[in-house]
Chains A and B, each alone.
Chain A
Amino acid sequence: AQSVAQPEDQVNVAEGNPLTVKCTYSVSGNPYLFWYVQYPNRGLQFLLKYITGDNLVKGSYGFEAEFNKSQTSFHLKKPSALVSDSALYFCASGDTGRRALTFGSGTRLQVQP
């Protein structure tokens, strides 16, 4: 069975500082990895995904993620955090047995002014 882990329930960072939200995965075969963001009482918004190719994936709103096969990680990064980045972030993987996503438990990002 595949799984996705987000080891931090919450990440706090000061505005203007770089941010990292961690994700590790366990999948059979080639990994298909996604990051989504959720604002309070809203649906999920797609940020970026890794399918194949370049290990550094660029996405929406200045976010990027680094795929590391040896460490089975797919950490989300941004060079300079904004207060408006404060939200709940989910890492997910494409399920090899069905066309659905397996989600991590989510990480709450808090950016302080």
Chain B
Amino acid sequence: DGGITQSPKYLFRKEGQNVTLSCEQNLNHDAMYWYRQDPGQGLRLIYYSQIVNDFQKGDIAEGYSVSREKKESFPLTVTSAQKNPTAFYLCASSIPHRTGGLGETQYFGPGTRLLVL
């Protein structure tokens, strides 16, 4: 899992509650990503950030928010608007490849499992 840490390992959310998942990397990578993993569906992109103070929506951004105030950190907030938040959340980071970004390897953290009470 390299130099990427995610906390907590398990997180429980009550109805109507916002919760924040932490992602920190010490790899000096510019880009960071959040993916959601559901059984049988692979990974789907929630948000990504190519540089500090900039981020873009992925394929399933509704009900989520992020910030990128520091290069090392990319926290994800699961808001009460996300009606089906139970999933395994994975954070990743990468450094630009000389091909312009398409060949870069993403390195993943250990994940946070979010459960609804």
A residues near B (Cβ < 8 Å) are 9, 30, 32, 34, 36, 41-46, 49, 51, 90, 94-96, 98-101, 103-106
Contacts and interface: CB of A to CB of B under 8 A. Distances in A.
A65 B113 CA distance: 31
Interface residues of B, number: 35
Task: Give the dominant DSSP class at A's interface.
Answer: loop
A44 B45 CA distance: 14
Given A43-B111, A95-B102, A103 B42 contact: yes
B48 A99 contact: yes
10 contacts: A43-B6, A43-B111, A90-B42, A94-B103, A99-B31, A99-B48, A99-B94, A100-B58, A103-B44, A105-B41
Contacts of B96: 99
Report, nearest first, the 7 A-B pairs whose CB atoms are least far apart: A94-B102, A43-B108, A103-B42, A51-B103, A99-B101, A44-B108, A103-B43
Contact of B107 (A46, A94, A95, A99): A46
Interface of B: 1, 4, 6, 31, 33, 35, 40-45, 48, 50, 56, 58, 88, 90, 92, 94, 96-97, 99, 101-111, 113
Contacts of A30: 102
Given A90-B43, A100-B33, A105-B42, A43 B102 contact: no
Contacts of B106: 46, 101
Contact of B103 (A43, A44, A49): A49
A20 B111 CA distance: 27
Contacts of A101: 33, 43, 45, 106
Given A51-B99, A105-B40, A43 B110 contact: yes
A30 B42 CA distance: 23
A51 B33 CA distance: 21
Nearest to B1: A43
A37 B109 CA distance: 13
